[in-house]
Amino acid sequence: MDQELSEVGTIDAALAPRLRQLKTEYDSLQNYFKIATSWLPEVGAELEEFASEGNSNSSYISRLDQGTRDLIDMLREADFRKETLDALQRSIQEGNQEEDLAQSYRASLDTYRAGYAQKTARQKYAQHAAYFDFRSRIWEVHSEGAMPPLTDMIAAEPGDDHDDNHDDDEDIVVGGTMRQFRCPLTTTLLEDPVESTVCPHAYSRAAITQYIQQAGRRGAECPAAACHAVLTLRNLSDAPGLARRVERYARQVARREELRRGAQWAGAPVLD
Ligand SMILES: [Zn+2]
């Protein structure tokens, strides 16, 4: 697209529709990137489980991690390009003539890239929902409950100031959510999970169905701590993806237990 813009010398009216079209092309490109970022966490979790069975995977995981970061970079640059195209379009509509549109576009892109290159990995990724999803899906293969803040999982670089940034960065992730693997009613791992469509909670199907039925027609308050959403059976939806994640975690728990018993039988000290 830079090439096409660079052929443009001065602005004419025919350029405005072309700018709109370029913007649409960036939109569809971003949709592909988003589909890719939504799949990488699943692939990462599969690899992590594969590794726990004694296979080496560290280079694959780190390549996927890099791939996720690259996609985030591309999504952001596409956002920037769209904004710039918008600004150029407005400028044309207002009747402004820029001497060289392509040059101005290139100059703002260069400024953007130079600024982005100055950022540390923490600044780029620690608060991005796609990166949170990627790391948390790998984390939850072994661990239940909250993942440490991403700022603790990305090595500090010059420019990352612990004291100044930590309070701001901690736990602030736009759009990312950790899933609880335990049913708030049974307190055991979710069985045949269903998700609420009115709050971010999930339950074992049999338990929540009975709980709602007992409450009668008005519905029942969500049983998760501090959640006051009112649930009816219509607010429950199937959660096959979550079911897979809980099963994967349950396999890890079983495996650890098996190893622990094996160690006991062998008379070796038990490591917990
Ligand atoms: Zn709830």
Residue 162's pLDDT band, with cuts at 50, 70 and 90, is low
Label residue 268 by pLDDT band (50, 70, 90). low
Interatomic CA distance for residues 180 and 157, integer angstroms: 32
The mean predicted confidence, pLDDT, of the chain is: 84
Distance (Å) from CA 184 to ligand 1 centroid = 9
What is the rounded average pLDDT of the residues 120-149? 89
Nearest to 137 by CA among 66, 45, 35: 45
Phi, psi of 252 (to 5 degrees): -65, -45
Q: What's the mean pLDDT in 160-179?
A: 53
- Please report where in the chains the tokens 């809980």 appear, as a residue: 246
Ligand 1 geometric centre to CA of 198 (Å): 7
The single-letter DSSP state of residue 147 is: P
Tell whether the torsion through CA atoms of 87, 89, 92 and 98 is positive or negative: positive
Q: Distance (Å, rounded) from C-alpha 132 to C-alpha 125? A: 8
The residue ranges of every structural domain in the chain are 2-169, 193-265
Question: Which pLDDT does position 65 carry in this prediction?
Answer: 94
3-state secondary structure of 237: strand
pLDDT above 50: residue 113 = yes
The band of 9, judged by pLDDT with boundaries at 50, 70 and 90, is very low
- Residues sharing a CB contact under 8 Å with residue 68, sequence separation 6 or more, in sequence order: 37, 40, 130, 131, 134
Q: How far is 229 from 177, CA to CA, in rounded Å?
A: 17
pLDDT for the residue numbered 205 = 97
Is the dihedral angle over the CA atoms 212, 214, 219, 220 positive or is it negative? negative
The lowest-confidence range among 3-7, 147-151, 156-160 is 3-7
Quote the ligand 1 centre to 233 CA distance (angstroms).
Answer: 14
| Largest Cα span, the chain | 84
CA of 228 to the centre of ligand 1 (A): 7
Greatest mean pLDDT range, 30-34, 94-98, 143-147:
30-34
Q: pLDDT per residue over 210-259, tens digit each?
A: 999 999 888 999 999 899 999 999 999 999 989 999 999 999 889 888 88
pLDDT at position 265: 67
pLDDT at 6: 47
**CA of residue 92 to ligand 1 center, whole Å:** 49
CA of 169 to the centre of ligand 1 (A): 26
The predicted pLDDT at position 176 comes to: 52
According to the CATH classification, is domain 193-265 in 3.30.40?
Answer: yes
203 membership: H or E segment, kind and range? strand 202-204
Higher pLDDT, 265 or 52: 52
Q: Mean pLDDT, to the nearest integer, of 55-73?
A: 88
Cα–ligand 1 centroid distance for 76 (angstroms) = 33
Measured in angstroms, how far is the CA atom of residue 191 from the centroid of ligand 1?
A: 17
Q: Is the pLDDT of residue 149 over 50?
A: yes
